[in-house]
């Protein structure tokens, strides 16, 4: 049974605070293990990567066999049913269209002093896409991570994906080819992150790594940050549904389970102003669990981390949502736009009764790579901006430096930075004064 809270309870604030503070993943001591793997790959390159691939994935290959061949891509496409190919193409087209509209324009102008100012956007030159290969394979994540990078103009896109026992999901390879990924390597875990960050004899380093993974991958990304860029530290999936009693409880139950089935540490939360509806949703969850292929995972997630919050009225919902700051937020209410306007913290918002979060996972268009663990308070979902750099542009001529330069000299001298002041004074012809 999920944890059930009620805002009318005298203990609500304490119980809600405990919810916010709860850790859904047990912090395991992986940092030392990961540090050793990173150091080994940095030192030995391919040899270390291949040793860890054999140890962790049961895949004994040589350096020349790490990279997926054109023949393997072709075989994967032939093995994929036509309806899946069609769906991938449809998703890819929608993701591309959405992110193309995000592309920013630079600017260049002269201000009142005659100083030319502006900024330009340039793409990161190389990006590594980490794709999990554990409890489930996610070709949708390949599209959602790689396409924004491709639209941004990244020149070299590389993907690493573990192939336990030598097995790769064909649809993952099809998605990689469709997204324009240039190189795919059959490696995973911290050793893959190390290879992308430091480079090996066979895998040139990249300038940024994006994509989710397990605790070892997250730790590796955290430790290589600075050597290379990373997108975010993604945790277990989350969904928060705000629903009134006018919804079909079975629909809402399925929405909650759509994230619970990802991982035992995932979290599904329902906020409603109708206690009877809350009970109906809980009953529907139990019924649907009996039919799911991943019922054990979803059931454990719901039992351990599921939460139902009953509020006196829906005006209480937005402040609670902002404190939770969920990865995914569904607003299945009569006025979703009005409620959304009152909410600041959410990775993605799904508006209305006919917009389940699963639409966003596959076909809507925005990337489903979203901040978790309350980080929507300060972070955004993956977009073209994660693969672009903004560079400031400044140009002075003789007249404009005379207009603004004296202020720079004054501030530099106030800070005790003589060379700063001198570099401007020389151009003003006042170096001796």
Catalytic residues: 327-328
70, two tokens: 């054109």
Phi-psi map region of 386: left, alpha, beta (phi>0 left; psi -120 to 50 alpha): alpha
| Orientation of helix 189-198 relative to helix 31-44, angle to 10° | 50
Q: Is 30 helix (H, G, I), strand (E, B) or coil?
A: coil
Q: Is 65 helix (H, G, I), strand (E, B) or coil?
A: helix
Backbone angles phi, psi at 13, to 5 degrees: -60, -40
**Residue 282's closest CA among 308, 301, 259, 304?**
308
- Tell the residue number behind the tokens 């290879």, with chain if given: 195
Backbone angles phi, psi at 4, to 5 degrees: -115, 125
Cβ-proximal residues to 348 (8 Å cutoff; 6+ apart), any chain: 327, 328, 329, 357, 360, 366, 368, 370, 381
Residue 75 and residue 172 in contact, taking contact as beta carbons nearer than 8 Å: no
Dist. CA 325–CA 340, nearest whole Å: 13
**Residue 130's closest CA among 31, 41, 216?**
216
Dist. CA 341–CA 349, nearest whole Å: 11
300, two tokens: 């454990």
Could you tell me the end-to-end alpha-carbon distance of the chain, in angstroms, rounded to an integer? 80
Residue 348 and residue 354 in contact, taking contact as beta carbons nearer than 8 Å: no
Q: How many Cβ atoms sit within 10 Å of the Cβ of residue 323?
A: 14
User: What distances in angstroms separate CA 43 from CA 56, 92, 184, 194, one per listed residue?
Assistant: 19, 38, 22, 10
């Amino acid at each position: 049974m999920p944890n059930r809270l009620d805002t009318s309870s005298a203990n609500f604030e304490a119980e809600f605070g405990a919810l916010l503070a709860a850790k859904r993943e047990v912090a395991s001591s992986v940092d030392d293990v990961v540090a050793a793997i990173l150091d080994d790959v940095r030192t030995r390159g391919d040899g270390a990567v291949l040793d860890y691939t054999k140890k962790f994935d049961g895949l004994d290959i040589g350096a020349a066999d790490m990279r997926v061949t054109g023949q393997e891509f072709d075989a994967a496409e032939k093995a994929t049913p036509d309806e899946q190919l069609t769906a991938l193409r449809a998703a890819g087209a929608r993701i591309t269209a959405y992110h193309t509209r995000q592309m920013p324009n630079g600017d260049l102008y002269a201000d009142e002093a005659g100083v030319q100012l502006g900024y330009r956007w340039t793409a990161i030159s190389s990006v590594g896409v980490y794709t999990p290969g554990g409890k489930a394979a996610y070709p949708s994540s390949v599209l959602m991570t790689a396409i924004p990078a491709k639209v941004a103009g990244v020149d070299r896109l590389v993907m690493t994906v573990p192939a336990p026992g030598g097995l790769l999901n064909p649809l993952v390879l099809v998605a990689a080819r469709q997204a324009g990924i240039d190189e795919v390597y059959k490696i995973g875990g911290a050793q893959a992150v190390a290879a992308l960050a430091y480079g090996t004899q066979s895998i040139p380093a990249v300038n940024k790594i994006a994509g989710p993974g397990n605790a070892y991958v997250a730790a590796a990304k955290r430790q290589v940050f600075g050597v290379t860029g990373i997108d975010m530290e993604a945790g277990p999936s989350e969904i928060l549904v705000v629903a009134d009693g006018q919804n079909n409880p079975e629909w809402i139950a399925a929405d909650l389970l759509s994230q619970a089935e990802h991982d035992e540490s995932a979290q599904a939360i329902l906020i409603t102003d109708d206690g009877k509806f809350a009970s109906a949703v809980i009953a529907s969850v139990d019924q649907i669990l009996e039919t799911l292929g991943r019922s054990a995972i979803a059931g454990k997630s719901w039992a351990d981390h599921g939460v139902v919050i009953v509020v006196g009225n829906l005006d209480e919902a937005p402040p609670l949502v902002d404190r939770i700051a969920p990865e995914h937020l569904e607003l299945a209410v009569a006025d979703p736009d009005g409620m959304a306007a009152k909410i600041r913290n959410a990775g993605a918002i799904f508006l209305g009764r006919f917009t389940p979060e699963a639409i966003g996972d596959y076909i809507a268009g925005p990337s489903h790579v979203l901040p978790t663990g309350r980080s929507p308070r300060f972070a955004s979902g993956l977009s073209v901006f994660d693969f672009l750099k903004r560079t400031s542009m400044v140009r002075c001529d003789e007249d404009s430096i005379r207009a603004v330069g004296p202020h720079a000299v004054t501030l530099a001298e106030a800070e005790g930075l003589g060379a700063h002041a001198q570099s401007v004074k020389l151009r003003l012809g006042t170096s001796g004064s």
